[in-house]
Structure 1
């Protein structure tokens, strides 16, 4: 995807200005020249380094305009190249994807489409099928996180674009941030996060299923996003360590109730040996990034992540680890489909120092907008009846709704009414087109409850050290 491509540097106004520090030694003994040179150097420092009086003398060497090149995103790739990801628009509700591979063929109900016809064509073009006399067609679209979410292979339930946009907004995601996500799943939310933190940010995404980890890594590499994301095979909740700790506590309680010193000593010795073996195993597993040591947590350090997103069945188990990993005043979001999950998550957030806790639910109602032509009511009827008109109306009502008139009057009135009706009809047809909107009969139902919170100022200890 285009946002994953590295930025390019160009010489801007600052780089071309020749602003730099000037050495005073070659100016001679003229005090005026030295004073002007010092003033110019001070202005250069204030312009390029800011008014920072605490800056060290070594940083003064950086006052060189050639070091301040402008960075830009590269222009969007216009033509499809080999191995590029292409979103295939088959119909309004059917999207698919292919990686443009020479000599490969994409087939669907509309026909057979050769990848050789894709390569070298611009995004957005229309391709005809090789069979069915070319009646089948499809469109080749440039991939975006939204289009990828509609066409990706589903390994788990995904976060759709409506919820994803709210998550990105309320987490205040910006370029160059460090973000943690658990779990990875199908990677739809990961792409939305990566677009927000590019070009120099870092996403640490965690998944306990090793097969999904491998597939996610291949997808990120194929989309050109490998330098922005690191996929970890890990259960951030640490259920394995919690279960072992619970078993150990239960065994200790049983040993105390038995009051058998010999048995207690042997149990303690075996437990210590098991712990040492498990620690050795964990040490070996830590040398391999693909193995989960069962301890839980994000394992990137204390107070490192700017934001954390949790898409887990039991997010409250990951809250203590998130409190240790997130920076002060960082934002966290939990995605839960059930209110019972949300309630337990909110309680855990408050327990571990998060504030400004709130839960929202997004519903999407789409509207069909079109220009509609309709016949407006007539506007040429008298609003106020005169005395003569009122008497004629009274006579008409008395005669059963018919006003007696001569034939000449009737003919004249009929002609006048016909002409007036023609004018009114033409007027109404010309001026009665309006832009109207109506809602679609179906509205997307409940997806999930989004719980947002902000971390406090105090750093939290590592829960793994307290087990």
Structure 2
């Protein structure tokens, strides 16, 4: 995806200013020139290092590191920009295929491959070199079948990806990104990885120099996720860990007795289940340097290493102590839980581990169908506000009862005016025109999950695994 590419550097105002240290030796013996050169160098140091740099140097031994002085060169300060999005589809690029309003698919544009659906057969060679958003006709069915080739975004990828687990949809994902205050170049932890839908949203927010550490206890999903991230050009922004951050294996062993035969047999049984779940995994999907889950839990990044943490786990309260140790002071944490009982346990664990300002929200999506409808223009001579004369005649009629004089009847029928114009018995209909109208869909997406947000305190928390060693 385009946001995975590194930023490009171009000369800006600073780089073109030609500001740098001036050598004082070539100015000769003129004291005015030497004084001017000295002041210019001091101004350059203040500009690049701050106003207190020169003062602090004079207060100490007035020594200046040679490597530090090299930084006073405007050519080193080029502006960084996100590279422009690629307009044309290249070989092996991810392409989202729009088949119909509710049907999205994806392909990797591979030379000589064919994508087939109910609309016909579409050759990948016709994709390569075409711009994103174009319309492609099928090679059979007399070219009546067609589809659109769309540029991949996290939202489109979430609608077309192979679902290995339930995913976080775009509404919840946008709220998570906003309330976690995720910004470029942050370090973020996510558990678990699942299908990778939320991972792509986080990666877009932390690009181009951030780092996502995503954790998944299922070995098969770890291999699939790594392969997808590399194929999308995001491998340098993410590291996928095969690890259960809750440490359930260690907790179960401690519950059954660490030295008892029952505890050992249970741990061996868990290992066997894990191995059996990954027997059908292709070797190409696995990383050669596979890390080993020691069963203790945690994120294994050290203390105060992450700016934000996102938990999408069945029992997130077990991971909260590890998250409190890993997150930076005043960092943000979010727990994604479909049940209120899970939310209550998670909030209690957050309070015990130094988090504050807890807030739980639920987002509901209401979509509207927008289309043009042809409607007749209302008549131009509608009855609006009666004149004062018409009002007075109506009052006289009510006072006089049902008896009306011929004069009053003629005046009422012929002389009453509306807005200064005589009333017309036959309304004139205006010409029809198209109006853009909106109506809500009959069904609104139901409950997805409760999102619990909290802020870490200023006090560093101890490592929960320290007591296990």
Deviation at 1:250, TM superposition (A): 9.0
2:458 corresponds to: 457
Q: Write the deviation string for residues 5-55 of structure 1: whole angstroms up to 9, x where unpaired.
A: 121111122112111112223333433222211211122122222224358
2:355 corresponds to: 354
1:42 corresponds to: 42
Over 3 Å counting, the alpha-carbon distance change for 1:378 and 1:422 in structure 2 is closer
Deviation at 1:297, TM superposition (A): 0.7
2:275 corresponds to: none
Instruction: Indicate the SS of the match to 1:175.
Output: coil
2:188 corresponds to: 179
**Residue 338 (str. 1) matches residue 343 (str. 2):** no
**Residue 85 (str. 1) matches residue 94 (str. 2):** yes
Quick one: which of 417, 421, 426 aligns to 2:426?
421
Deviation at 1:293, TM superposition (A): 1.4
Instruction: Indicate the SS of the match to 2:301.
Output: coil
The alignment of Structure 1 onto Structure 2 pairs a total of residues equal to 424
Q: Write the deviation string for residues 356-401 of structure 1: whole angstroms up to 9, x where unpaired.
A: 11111111112334566364792356254355566679999679xx
More helix per residue: 1 or 2? 1
Aligned mates of 1:332, 1:245 — CA distance in 2: 28
Structure 2: gaps (5+ residues): 58-63, 272-287, 415-420
Deviation at 1:70, TM superposition (A): 1.2
Deviation at 1:201, TM superposition (A): 0.5
Quick one: which of 194, 217, 223 aligns to 1:208?
217
1:264 corresponds to: none
Quick one: which of 356, 376, 382 aligns to 1:378?
382
Aligned mates of 1:95, 1:388 — CA distance in 2: 68
**Residue 114 (str. 1) matches residue 111 (str. 2):** no
Over 3 Å counting, the alpha-carbon distance change for 1:422 and 1:250 in structure 2 is same
Aligned mates of 2:312, 2:222 — CA distance in 1: 15
Structure 1: gaps (5+ residues): 252-266, 279-286, 410-415
Over 3 Å counting, the alpha-carbon distance change for 1:216 and 1:246 in structure 2 is same
Deviation at 1:143, TM superposition (A): 0.2
Aligned mates of 1:358, 1:334 — CA distance in 2: 10
Over 3 Å counting, the alpha-carbon distance change for 1:149 and 1:300 in structure 2 is same
* Aligned-CA RMSD value: 3.1
Quick one: which of 62, 66, 77 aligns to 1:68?
77
Q: TM-score, normalised by structure 2?
A: 0.83
Quick check: 156-165 or 66-75, which moved more?
66-75
Quick one: which of 98, 110, 124 aligns to 2:107?
98
1:281 corresponds to: none
Over 3 Å counting, the alpha-carbon distance change for 1:199 and 1:395 in structure 2 is same
Over 3 Å counting, the alpha-carbon distance change for 1:22 and 1:379 in structure 2 is same
1:298 corresponds to: 299
